[in-house]
Amino acid sequence: MSEKIKASHILLAHADGERSRVTRSKEEALEAMEKIKAELDGGGEFATLAAEHSDCPSGKEGGDLGSFGRHAMVKEFEDAAFALEVGESSGVVETPFGYHLIHRTG
């Protein structure tokens, strides 16, 4: 049986990202994500920040991606998510889709 985890994320896409529908530049996306990370580090609620900022439809659900196993996500995302302890949030993670903050929930 493969290992599964549960996680939520915040995605900020940029114009150069895969399947992107946004016009912000890569630099603008990174700068905005660093501000969100600072809010999170300052005590902000991950689900609230996801609902306010995420470009992923999961943002409406607080960024909840449910449970997933290895090879279900792109490598950069998977590596970061599986390295987290339950309750821990990642730094900014870049994938072909944009920039993410990942919060492991289970």
Tens of pLDDT, residue by residue over 8-54, are 999 999 999 998 889 999 999 999 999 999 999 999 999 999 999 99
Q: Looking at residue 1, what is its pLDDT?
A: 42
Q: What does the alpha-carbon distance between residue 18 and residue 67 come to, in Å, rounded to a whole number? A: 23
Which structural domains are found in the chain, ordered by start?
4-104 (3.10.50.40)
CB 3 within 8 A of CB 69: yes
Q: What does the alpha-carbon distance between residue 64 and residue 87 come to, in Å, rounded to a whole number? A: 13
Q: Which residues contact 18 (CB under 8 A, 6 or more apart)?
A: 96, 97
CB-count exposure of residue 1 (10 Å: 0-12, 13-18, 19+)? exposed
| Phi and psi torsions of 97, nearest 5° | -95, -15
Tell me the pairing of strands 98-104 and 64-69. unpaired
Q: Looking at residue 26, what is its pLDDT?
A: 96
Give per-residue pLDDT as tens, 86-106: 999 999 999 999 999 999 999
pTM of this structure: 0.95
Confidence bin at 2 (pLDDT 50/70/90): low
Mean pLDDT for the stretch of residues 52-78: 97
